[in-house]
Amino acid sequence: MSVDLLKNNLDRFKRKYFVNKILKGSLVSGVLFGSILLIISLLEGYFWFSETIRLMLFSLFVLLIGYCLLFQVLAPLLSLVRLRKGISDHQAAHEIGRYFPEIQDKLVNYLQLSELSNSESSLLAAALHQKTNELTIFSFKEAINFRVNLKYFYYLSAVAVFILLVSFINPNLFIDSTTRIIHFNQPYEKPAPFTFHVLSDLVGFQNDNYELKVALKGNSLPEEVYLVENGRRFRMSANGEELKFNFPALSKDKQFRLEAAGYFSPRYEIKVYPRPEIRDLNIQIKYPKYTGLSDQKTSNVGSLIVPEGSQLHFTLKSSDADKVFFITESDSTSMTSTGDQTYALSRTALNSFNYELALRNNHARNKSKIAYEIAVTKDQAPEIEANFFPDTVTYQSLLITGSIMDDYGFNQLNLHYKRANADSYRRIPISYDRSLNSQQFIYQWNFDSLQLEDREYLTVYVSVGDNDAINGTKFGYSARFTLRMPSNEEIKSLIESKSENSQNELEKSLQNSEALNKQLKELESRLKNKKEIGWQDQKMLEQLIRDKKKLEKDIEELKLKHQQLLESQKEFGKQSKKLQEKSEQLQNLINEVLDEETKKLYDELQKLLKEESNSEEVLKQLSKIQNKEQNLEKELERALELFKRMKLETQLEQAAQELKELGEKQEKLGEKTQSKPSDENAESLNEQEEINKAFEEIQKDLEEAEELNEELKSPEPLDDLNKDREEISEKLDEIKDQLSPDEPSESEEENEQGERPENEQNNKERMNSTGQKMKNAGQKMKAAAQKLEDMQAGAEMVMMQENLDNLRDILDNLIKLSFEQERILKDIQEVEQVDPRFIELSQEQLKLMANIEVIEDSLLSLASRVAQISNFVTREVSEINRNLETAMFELRERNKGKATSNQQYAMTSMNNLALLLDDVLSQMQMSMAEAMGKPQSKGQQKQSMPSMSEMQKQLSEQIQQLKQSGKSGRQLSEELARLAAEQEQLRQAMEEMQKNLAGQPGKEGEDGKDGIGNKLKEAIQKMEENETDLVNKRITQQLINRQQDIITRMLEAEESMREQQKSPEREGETASDITRNIPPAVEEYLKARRQEIDLLKTIPLDLNPFYKKEVNDYFRRLSGQQHE
């Protein structure tokens, strides 16, 4: 029992102990709380600490008070309620022992002995019982004295007094200071003697500049005001009574304070809101179908240029927009929201308009004005440029070139024409490319079917229509072009002018060639005795090269002008087919006068000059060039002679044709005069004057032809027509006098009334007489024309025969010289240089060279009359001469190897030349056969048959002479071969005649024994038999008799042809294809146009229509400058 009392007594001590601890802790915490509160309130009230210091003070206050409450109050309390381990019994015993001296360590010992109570020791039990009795007399809780805590109470009271005193003095101190300390994160400013007033709305927008306006009010205002943001101070600028500060490009909310004279304003915050903005603007353009444009989509391009009728679909993507308005000058439309900040609107563009896009949300609208323009281009009328190039050669076609351009395409392109006597234009469609909006066109209109008359006018223009599906087709028109058909006189003058130009160019080229050869000779003589080329020699050689280039340019110009003359003559000159062939052969000769080998020689010469070669090398090159240039001079001289000869033949042929037509016109006028009343002869007089004038022109042409014939090296054997011309001229003058009105005398006027019937009878008889004279004059003209044709045909046959004989002689002599050259070559190869026969052979070679020169002269003379001989023939002759001269030089030097080599080359050239001449001989024989056998006209038929019969007579005489000559062996074989060849030519001519006569009325080959066909057939059969006998060397009397039979048949055929020619027949002309060459001027134009097309093709296909048009206009202007 005593033990329990002691334990309870100890527990009561512990409870009082913890209560005392709680009381003491509470008083200490109160003193500490009040002291700290008083101190920090006074400090904060005086110093107005910053957020950081206030945070430190608040933290210190919380830490100290928390420490006291936790360890001085809460810990004992938990121990008191036994939630926390308190003091142990031993610690309590020590505390009790210190308060009760009597107890000292007895309680401690008791507790220690109690821990040993488990052992069964009677002694221990007795000791515990004794200790218990000794301790139970004490009340342990008396060891705790609450009064020791009075001092803490006094401290707390003193602190409370100070707090009350301060609160009395400054009632708001503790409230304001503690509030600021508790809200340490908020800035608090010390009250200033002035106040800050923010004038601006504290609302801004993203990416906008914000201007803050502040005003100060109070008795004492500071001079400077600062804006404090994130610890940084910015001085505000003064503007009168206001202060300003700019925030650039706001992105988020801004917090700031204002500071002035050490005083701060409350913290302000600018709320930043986003403005509505456009993120993407797409416009889908749907063009009208007729434009042919592909639909287009633009991105972020608001201003457009579109064709009229285009459909526009606007799609706008925005950010922070609640509504989007499409505003025009006439209305405002809210765009339809399609979700996800996307808005759409559709419009049809018929006229140009401006529009604005307005974006809005709850706070703002778009800052800057979003305005665009839709420019609508109206479909423009098509544009056209046309150039007209009449065919000045045939005047039967018109070449039209030009360009058309439109916005979007065409639906028609037409040529309109009107004759002078027509009331309206007629239309011809022109093809074009529907896929191109700007294109060139070329159209050649052959209007020969219109059969325009001389001097008639034809007006043409071109129109183009566009494909405008909205407003209807619009048209563009070119300038009108008027074509006038030339008269015969103008055509004749044109041909004469071109002929004169060609002749002048030929003469000019020949003169330049002669001057060039003279330069070559001078240079060769200067350089012969020089080892090196001097400065002056160099300049002369350079001048030589320049002169050669000039000569080449002249020859090119000659080619062009002669080609133009050839085309004009072919269409208007009314040349015979034979003359046309000769003109073409001359053109070929002119085209071939310049050869590539000569150009290479000059290039090599120029190279030698650059390399500063010695004079010996240059001399060798000059020698080669001189040989070529001499040959060129001969060819130009030959071309000039051939040109004059063909000009003569053309003039004679044209004069005969004009004279024949004039005769027919004179006969018609005679018939017309006889049928007219006598008092209506004024018209006949005018027509007669025109005929007289035309005859005078023909006489001038004939006189010019005679003068031209005299200029030829080998004039044509022309008969004198002066007597016929004089007779015709006298008849025409007489007719004109009879048609001219006589002025009556005074006596005739007095007797006029009484003698009127008699005068009318006399005038009628006079008009009949005049008409008959006109007919006679016309017949005389036609007879003169026929005579001129016969003369020309006969002269041609004679000349052809002479040329044929000359060529045959040249060919025979050339073959002989070739054999001779072969013999000399073999002999030289067999002898030595020291052999005296070597000199004899050299002399024989020299003699052969002289014979070659004779052949050359003969051949050049023949070539000036025969265009069939090509330039290659004359060049081969020059090659023979060059090789022979070189061979002769080597023989003098006794260089047998080089001499024989050049002789071999010369002999090869001779053989080549012989082959060429043999080919020319065959061509000439064929031409002669055609001339004898083809009845091109009545006059030529009359001339061709006698010529063939005469040639057959000559052949018969030659056979008889050969039979009587007694020749044999090789000479006989050569003569018989030549006679057989001539007989073959005549037979071929007869066969050609038979072929041409077949199928003609009255001239059937099988129409009877006495028909022309049978006669020709018999003659041809006998000719074939004679050819066989001549080839087999059978010269018998039977052959000679057949010759007589052949002549008889030919004469009978001639007579039959004359009989049939007495009946007038309509003569037809064979149609010939006309090649319409484009004039050179037109060719240059077309070339320039083709270049323009290449330029236009580089225009990008995806250009806006407006810019595509601008590019087209630019290229057209550029092209126009090039043409200028």
pLDDT tens for 633-688 read 888 888 888 888 888 888 888 888 888 888 888 888 888 777 766 555 667 778 88
What is the per-residue pLDDT for 461? 96
Check pLDDT > 50 for residue 1007. no
pLDDT at 1: 40
Give the Cα-Cα-Cα angle 523, 902, 816 (nearest 5 degrees).
115
- Residue 21 in contact with residue 68, Cβ under 8 Å? no
Residue 846 has pLDDT above 60, yes or no: yes
1113 and 1049 together in one domain: no
Query: What does the pLDDT average to over 88-114?
Result: 58
For residue 973, the enclosing domain spans 934-1063
Distance CA 96, CA 381 (A): 128
From 139, 257, 247, 147, select the one nearest 203 (Cα to Cα): 247
Are 15 and 110 contained in the same domain? yes
Q: Which of 316, 306, 317 is nearest to 353 (CA)?
A: 306
Q: How far apart are CA 302 and CA 312, in angstroms?
A: 11
> What CA–CA distances, in Å, run from 660 to 654, 783, 934, 1076?
10, 8, 21, 29
- Helix ranges (H only) for 831-870 are 836-863
Q: Are residues 430 and 527 in the same domain?
A: no
| Domain assignment present for 1008 | yes
CATH number at residue 455: 2.60.40.10
pLDDT (0 to 100) of residue 888: 87
Give pLDDT, residue 941. 42
User: In sequence order, what are the beta bridge partners of 1092?
Assistant: none
Alpha-carbon distance of 1022 to 1028, in angstroms, equals 10
| Cα-trace Rg, the chain | 68
Q: Say how far apart CA 213 and CA 198 lie, in whole Å.
A: 6
d(CA 498, CA 568) in angstroms, rounded, equals 9
What's the pLDDT score for residue 283? 95
Q: Does residue 1104 surpass a pLDDT of 80? A: no
Give the residue from 249, 315, 317 showing the smallest Cα distance to 277: 317
Strands of 378-452 (E only): list them.
383-390, 397-405, 410-419, 426-429, 438-446
In DSSP terms, which residues pair with 264 in a beta bridge?
Answer: 259
Given this model, what pLDDT does residue 269 score?
A: 93
Q: State in Å, rounded, how far the first CA of the chain is from the last one.
A: 147
Least confident range from 13-22, 131-140, 1041-1050: namely: 131-140
User: Stretch 226-252: mean pLDDT, rounded?
Assistant: 90
Amino acid identity at 899:
A
Does any domain span residue 717?
A: no
Local confidence band at 1075 (pLDDT 50, 70, 90 cut-offs): very low
By three-state DSSP, how is residue 334 classified?
A: strand
Closest CA to 316 of 339, 287, 286, 282: 282
Q: Is the pLDDT of residue 999 over 60?
A: no
Joined together, the tokens standing for residue 1110 give: 């601008």
Average pLDDT for 486-515: 84
* 1099 in any annotated domain: yes
Average pLDDT, the chain: 78
What does the alpha-carbon distance between residue 519 and residue 543 come to, in Å, rounded to a whole number?
A: 9
Per-residue model confidence (pLDDT) at position 287: 93
Residues 220 and 309 in one domain: no
**Beta-carbon contacts of residue 94 (< 8 Å; ≥ 6 apart):** 108
**Which helix (H) or strand (E) segment is 173 a member of?**
helix 173-182
Cβ atoms 894, 833 nearer than 8 A: yes
Which segment of 171-175, 693-697, 705-709, 828-832 scores lowest on mean pLDDT?
A: 171-175
What does 122-157 look like in DSSP terms, one character per residue?
Answer: HHHHHHHHHHHHHHTTS-GGGG--GGGGHHHHHHHH
CA distance 310 to 781: 79
Asked if residue 886 lies in contact with residue 903, where contact means CB atoms within 8 angstroms, the answer is no
Type of residue at 400: I
Q: Inter-axis angle of helices 2-47 and 122-135, to 10 degrees?
A: 50
With 50 as the cut, is the pLDDT of residue 626 above it? yes
Residues 526 and 399 in one domain: no
Output the pLDDT for position 1003.
44
246, pLDDT greater than 90: yes
pLDDT above 80 for 516:
yes
pLDDT at 1063: 47
Based on the fold, state whether residues 1002 and 988 are members of the same structural domain.
Answer: yes
Output the pLDDT for position 92.
58
Residue 936, pLDDT score: 44
Say which amino acid occupies 893. E
Q: Greater confidence, 773 or 235?
A: 235
**Beta strands of 268-382 (E only): which ranges?**
268-273, 277-286, 296-299, 304-307, 310-319, 323-328, 332-334, 336-339, 342-349, 353-360, 370-377
Average pLDDT over residues 469-480: 91
**Stretch 711-738: mean pLDDT, rounded?**
74
Which percentage of the chain shows pLDDT scores above 90? 16
- Is the per-residue pLDDT at 1002 higher than 60? no
Identify whether 1047 is part of a domain.
yes
Q: Are strands 232-235 and 237-239 parallel, antiparallel or unpaired?
A: unpaired
CATH number of residue 651's parent domain: 1.20.120
Question: Please, what is the Cα angle at 258 between 254 and 260, to 5 degrees?
Answer: 160
Distances in Å between the Cα of 939 and the Cα atoms of 576, 664, 693, 728 are 13, 16, 26, 21
The answer, yes or no, to whether residue 8 has pLDDT greater than 80, is no
Query: Within a domain: residue 81?
Result: yes
Q: Which of 374, 297, 313, 302 is nearest to 345 (CA)?
A: 313
Q: What is the pLDDT of residue 344?
A: 95
Q: What is the mean pLDDT of residues 338-349?
A: 92
H or E element that contains 1043: helix 1037-1062
Q: Which of 55-69, 272-286, 525-539, 1067-1081 has the lowest mean pLDDT?
A: 1067-1081
- Mean pLDDT, rounded, for 259-265: 85
Greater confidence (744 vs 696) lies with 696
The confidence band for 481, taking pLDDT boundaries of 50, 70 and 90, is very high
Q: CA–CA separation, 712 vs 439, rounded Å? A: 55
User: What pLDDT is attached to residue 1071?
Assistant: 39
pLDDT at 372: 94
Three-state secondary-structure class, residue 184: coil
- CB-CB contact of 575 with 583 (8 Å): yes
> Exposure pattern of 334-366 as b/e (b: 16+ CB <10 Å)?
ebeeeeebbbebebebeeeeebbbbbbbeebeb
HEC readout, 713-758: CCCCCCCCCHHHHHHHHHHHHHHHHHHCCCCCCHHHHHCCCCCHHH
3-state secondary structure (DSSP) of residue 323: strand
The answer on 313 and 266 residing in a single domain is no
Q: Do residues 461 and 539 both lie within one domain?
A: no
Tell which of 128, 146, 173 closes a domain: 173
pLDDT band at 400 (very low <50, low <70, confident <90, very high): very high
Indicate whether 1006 pLDDT > 60.
no
Does residue 1033 register a pLDDT over 60?
yes
31 falls in which pLDDT band (50, 70, 90)? confident
One domain, residues 481 and 493? no
Q: In 488-614, where does DSSP find H-type helix?
A: 488-527, 535-572, 577-591, 596-610
Rounded mean pLDDT, 232-240: 90
Residues 467 and 528 in one domain: no
CA–CA gap between residue 461 and residue 211 (Å, rounded): 73
Residues 274/360, Cβ–Cβ less than 8 Å = no
Number of domains in the chain: 6
- Higher pLDDT among residues 1090 and 549, named by residue: 549
Q: Show which of 258, 273, 288 is a domain's final residue.
A: 273
Question: Can you read off the two tokens belonging to residue 659?
Answer: 């004279």
Q: State the pLDDT at residue 328.
A: 92
Asked if pLDDT for residue 271 goes beyond 50, the answer is yes
Neighbours of 591 (CB within 10 A): 15
222 lies in some domain? yes
| 806 in a structural domain | no
Per the domain annotation, does 687 fall within a domain? no
| Euclidean distance between CA atoms 213 and 453, whole angstroms | 99
pLDDT at 138: 53
Note whether 165 and 34 are same-domain residues: yes
- Res. 627: pLDDT tops 90: no
pLDDT at 1067: 41
With vertex at residue 476, the alpha carbon angle to CA 474 and CA 480, rounded to the nearest 5 degrees, is 145
Cα separation of 237 and 246, whole Å?
Answer: 9
**pLDDT of 746 above 70:** no
Contacts (Cβ under 8 Å, ≥6 apart) of 836: none
Among 1014, 1034, 1063, identify where a domain stops: 1063
Q: Are residues 112 and 8 in the same domain?
A: yes
Mean pLDDT score, 947-959: 74
DSSP structural state of residue 365 = B
Calculate mean pLDDT across residues 166-189: 77
CB atoms inside a 10 Å sphere around CB 700: 11
Comparing 409 with 3, the larger pLDDT belongs to 409
pLDDT in tens, 1085-1102: 555 555 555 554 444 444
- Lowest-pLDDT range, 45-54, 505-514, 737-746, 781-790? 737-746
Q: Which amino acid is at 686?
A: N
* Cα 357 from Cα 347, distance rounded (Å): 14
